[in-house]
Amino acid sequence: MIGDVIRKYRKEAGMTQEEMALRLGVTAPAVNKWEKGSTQPDISLLAPIARLLGITTDTLLSFRDSLTAQEIADFIRKLDRDLETRPYADVFGETKKKLEEYPACYPLIWQSAVILKARNRQDESSEKDSYDAQILGWLERCLASEDRSIRKSAAESLFQTYLNREDYEKAGSYLEYFSPDDPEKKRREALLSSRTGKRQEAYRTLEELLFSAYGFLSLVMNDLRILYMEDGDHEMAWKLSDMQRMAAKTFEMGRYNEVSSGLDVAAWEKDVSRTAAIMEEILESIGTLGDFAGSPLYRHMTFKQMDQGFTERLKSSMVRHMKDDAYAYMKGNEFWDKITEKIKKES
């Protein structure tokens, strides 16, 4: 309250109420009433009071653009508790007043809107639609936030709301708040396509997401495996290799992709029998490299036809690679020596 601020800074300045009244040209009882909160200073006195106390009018009026993260967290916790024990209408009204007090505090608006929206589904009052409209308005306001995560979360909630209402044009308008390369944007585009009669487009988009998800997972597991190898963790290196194999099988990427991941680990351990077994499987299955194109998982996707000579060139490259110094430990292995000898004769 403004009276509390006046009292605080008057005392810090070492002034009595009488001295303050004299300098402002008012009575001491008037200052006393301000500090008790019985009355408020006239608006024309706000600037003189602030100058006299050595503070800004913003400080005098306790004006702030936003709340601290802790204040927001405290308010949200109280909001959640109140919704458990008090009428929804009362809690909604108090929250609305708080958001009007801080109309640009987007973290506060967003979190309040999310909680009230979830609880409004359970409310059976006649004001349910009115509450929902106000909450959607708050979420719309959050789209102006500088925080990308708040914008995206608000857009996600608005998208789902209008998708459920079968207002597909409105739902689609919120996709612009997603990054173009965000998989969530493509997934939601597929949802819209499936609801608007574009079934083939929906299938294709979701299959593309599935295909790219495998590629990303495979890269992550490969990088993680290398990290464990660098730290000398043999057990985890093989575990990641097995995970890559299982992922290739699950996503139907072809036998070649299933068997090839363990070669680096076997070579790292200089395990002769394992290296030979894996290399043999790789060379035998190299023709399955493009088998994913025939998988029913990706039946709506169009893949570029693989060059007929590509697998042969890859196989030749793999065979030549067997002569590298990295595989010097394989000398004496019957399978290895047989192939490398063949290379030597052909060259």
Rounded Cα distance, 1 and 61, in Å: 8
- The reply to whether domains 69-198 and 201-346 share a CATH topology is yes
pLDDT of residue 307 exceeding 70: yes
Half-sphere exposure (CA, 13 Å, Cβ side) for 16?
Answer: 6
- Section 305-321 average pLDDT: 84
Contact between 77 and 113 (Cβ < 8 Å): no
* Domain 2-60 indexed as CATH 1.10.260.40: yes
Give residue limits of the domains in the chain.
Answer: 2-60, 69-198, 201-346
User: Tokens at residue 62, please?
Assistant: 């306790």
CATH superfamily of 69-198: Tetratricopeptide repeat domain (1.25.40.10)
What was the pLDDT predicted at 68? 85
Give the DSSP H/E element, type plus range, for residue 82. Answer: helix 69-85
CATH architecture designation of domain 201-346: Alpha Horseshoe (1.25)
Query: How high is the pLDDT of residue 174?
Result: 96
Summarised one tens digit per residue, pLDDT across range 162-198 is 999 999 999 999 999 999 889 999 999 999 999 999 9
- Reported as a single tens digit per residue, the pLDDT across 256-296 is 999 998 999 999 999 999 999 999 999 999 889 889 999 99
Which residues lie closer than 8 Å to 27 by C-beta, 6 or more apart?
21
| pLDDT bucket at 123, cuts 50 / 70 / 90 | low
Pick the most confident of 119-123, 124-128, 129-133. 129-133
Which residue pairs from 307-311 have beta carbons closer than 8 angstroms and sit at least 24 positions apart in sequence?
A: 311/286, 311/287
Can you tell me the mean pLDDT for 152-171?
Answer: 95
Asked whether residue 347 carries a pLDDT value surpassing 60, the answer given is no
**Cα distance between residue 160 and residue 168, in whole Å:** 10
Give the total residue count for the chain.
347
| Residue among 144, 196, 152, 197 nearest 174 (CA) | 152
Residue 34's Cβ-count burial label (10 Å; 0-12, 13-18, 19+) is buried
pLDDT at 136 over 70: yes
